[in-house]
Amino acid sequence: MKTPLIACVDDGASVREALKGFLAASHFVAVTFESVEVLLEFENLCSVIWLIADVKLGGMMGVELRKGLVSKGYGIPTIIISAFSEEGYHQAAIDAGAADFLLKPISTERLLSVVNGALQAHEG
């Protein structure tokens, strides 16, 4: 079975490294990107089975990234993360089809639950 590849996009290096380390400890392979532009240049984007994206990514919102990927044929399940608790961000993420919206600091238990639940549904 192919190892699940999860992409993490956040402009914060500490967040990217924390997510990568947590996911590796949970037996996933994570690739991290500091911007949307770098993610979109990733040659193995079609291998990504999950995307974790910050709500604010420089010139683009994580929700806009999700919509753009879907319009290009990449229906990658997405978790939007944010340090901002405003209801508008949460609702925008859900309206864009995000699987979940998690506040930083991220609950690793909830993150793992969302990812594993979707993987089981996909495999079953």
CATH number at residue 68: 3.40.50.2300
Domain contains 122: no
Domain contains 47: yes
Domain contains 123: no
pTM above 0.85, yes or no: yes
Sheet of 48-54: strand order equals 29-33, 5-9, 48-54, 78-82, 100-103
pLDDT, residue 30, reads: 95
Domain contains 32: yes
Domain contains 26: yes
Q: Which domain range does residue 93 map to?
A: 5-11+18-107
Domain contains 112: no
Q: What is the mean pLDDT of each run of 10 residues along the chain (124 residues)?
A: 80 95 93 93 91 89 89 91 86 90 92 82 61
CA–CA distance, 39 with 112 (Å, rounded to integer): 22
Domain contains 39: yes
Domain contains 94: yes
Q: Considering its fold, how many domains does the chain have in total?
A: 1
